Amino acid sequence: MAPPPLANVPLFSAEAAAFGLDLGQVLHEVLDSQRYILGPQVQAFERAFAAYVGVAHAVGVANGTDALELALRALGVGPGQRVVTVANAGFYGSTAVRAVGATPLYVDVDEATLTLSPAALRQVLATQAVGAVIVTHLYGQLADMAAIAALCQQAGVALIEDCAQAHGARRDGRCAGAWGEIGCFSFYPTKNLGALGDGGALVTDDAALAERLRSLRQYGWRAKYEVVLPDGCNSRLDELQAAVLGAKLPRLDAANAERRAIAVRYQRAFADLPLRLPASTGEDHVMHLYVVRTARRAALRAHLAAAGVATDIHYPIADHLQPLLVAEAEPPALPASEAACAEVLTLPCFPGLRDEQVQRVIDAVRGFHEGGA
């Protein structure tokens, strides 16, 4: 009798994302405590996460986009100012910049890493007034932070790291989130460190910034019902999500290593194919997404779908070409960003992806190219 066909290969697995933990027990402990907002679980996770990143303070918030917005507000960025960001990262940074009344100033990306180009940043900082820089560690790839941080320091411009896809990425022993004034994280369920719903955090070594962020996340309060800061909001990490994140955090590095191991298999299998592969499989890339580039994206994606392999496109429309912004102003020329948006394709790569599923992805990708599709 022939063996049953393999199940479809998903892009994400909620079961695998539990890291083998009994999350039901974790949640029941919170329910039994009858503390649900900004209680001991949040405080414990904030301490543990700050220590993990290697900074003094972490501040839990409701989601990663709120984290970016609150970072800008804490740094005093607002109307009339420009914020450098990239255009190939899904409009999340742009959303935060616009929320504080500032204007995104798009800078092109490095063609190999698809992260902020230091050369392009240098040119902009030399010619334009900038309120802040947001650097996105896209797909889990740490940007060239030594160069970018040095440029921002020389220009006297605050640096915000968007680490939503880069939990645990390191270079020279330094984590994503520990290079700029503020690091911003998302704990959306599909992230390398994911909650069971929305969640986010900001990290910083600056005690005054941390205090300001804690006030801004809760109405601008200094103490209960005492409002001291404008533009405060209600953006709090809840106890249930903090408990889940705290339980998963000790297993994050092992999960990232599993992602890299899958990526290494792909790199070896695809090395001779006409695909552009991720620039690194080292500790500076946590493989939140394994993204290849191909001029034949639509055909390859259709072939993989027929083979039962899920894919996605992160991200198909560059920020500066979104209908909203095109209607407002003439878009700048960002050739590397635009080329990436036209070619990127995400393949399955997550902890718990079985060996036979990885091989199925490999066989399907190679079959497309070797079969003359």
- Digit-coded pLDDT (tens) for 124-135: 999 999 999 999
DSSP-assigned letters across all residues of 209-250: HHHHHHHHTBTTEEETTEE-STT--B---BHHHHHHHHHHGG
* Joined tokens for residue 57: 């303070």
Contacts of 35 (CB under 8 A, 6+ apart): 41, 239
Query: For the chain, which domains are there?
Result: 16-250 (3.40.640.10), 252-370 (3.90.1150.10)
Q: What is the pLDDT of residue 207?
A: 98
Residue 268 has pLDDT above 70, yes or no: yes
Rounded to the nearest integer, the mean pLDDT of the chain is 96
Q: Per residue in 66-78, is it b (16+ CB within 10 Å) or e — as a string?
A: bbbbbbbbbbebe
Banded pLDDT at 1 (limits 50, 70, 90) = very low
Percentage of the chain modeled with pLDDT above 70: 98
Say what the pTM is: 0.96
Banded pLDDT at 5 (limits 50, 70, 90) = low
DSSP H or E segment with residue 314:
none
The rounded distance, in Å, linking the Cα atoms of 278 and 264 is 10
pLDDT tens column, 291-317: 999 999 999 999 999 999 999 999 999
pLDDT tens column, 107-121: 999 999 999 999 999
Selection from 193, 349, 357, 143 nearest residue 263 by Cα? 349
Q: What is the pLDDT of residue 329?
A: 86
Banded pLDDT at 4 (limits 50, 70, 90) = very low
Banded pLDDT at 372 (limits 50, 70, 90) = low
Q: What is the pLDDT of residue 81?
A: 98
Q: What is the pLDDT of residue 7?
A: 59
